[in-house]
Chain A
Amino acid sequence: SQTIHQWPATLVQPVGSPLSLECTVEGTSNPNLYWYRQAAGRGLQLLFYSVGIGQISSEVPQNLSASRPQDRQFILSSKKLLLSDSGFYLCAWRKDNSGNTIYFGEGSWLTVV
Chain B
Amino acid sequence: GEDVEQSLFLSVREGDSSVINCTYTDSSSTYLYWYKQEPGAGLQLLTYIFSNMDMKQDQRLTVLLNKKDKHLSLRIADTQTGDSAIYFCAESSNSGYALNFGKGTSLLVTP
State which of A34, A99, A105 has its C-beta within 8 Å of the C-beta of B94.
A99
Please name the residue on chain A nearest to B44 by beta carbon: A104
| Binary A-proximity of B41-52 (CB < 8 A = 1, otherwise 0) | 111110010100
B30-68 with Cβ < 8 A to chain A: 30-31, 33, 35, 40-45, 48, 50
**A107-B41 in contact given A42-B103, A51-B97 (Cβ < 8 Å):** yes
Nearest-Cβ distance from residue A72 to partner chain B, whole angstroms: 17
- Count the A-B residue pairs with Cβ separation under 8 angstroms: how many? 55
On whether the beta carbons of B92 and A99 are closer than 8 Å, the reply is: yes
Contact A32 B41, CB 8 Å, known A44-B88, A101-B33: no
Q: Give complex CA distance A104, B35 in Å.
A: 10
Interface residue range, chain B: 20 to 34
Which residues does chain B contribute within 8 Å of A106, judged by CB atoms?
41-42
Of the A-B pairs whose beta carbons lie under 8 Å apart in the complex, a sample of 28, sorted by A's number, is A34-B98, A36-B101, A43-B88, A43-B101, A43-B103, A43-B104, A44-B43, A49-B98, A51-B97, A90-B42, A97-B94, A97-B97, A99-B30, A99-B31, A99-B92, A99-B93, A99-B94, A101-B31, A101-B33, A101-B45, A102-B33, A104-B43, A104-B44, A105-B42, A106-B41, A106-B42, A107-B41, A109-B40
Residues of A within 8 A of B (CB): 32, 34, 36, 41-44, 46, 49, 51, 57, 59, 90, 92, 97-99, 101-107, 109
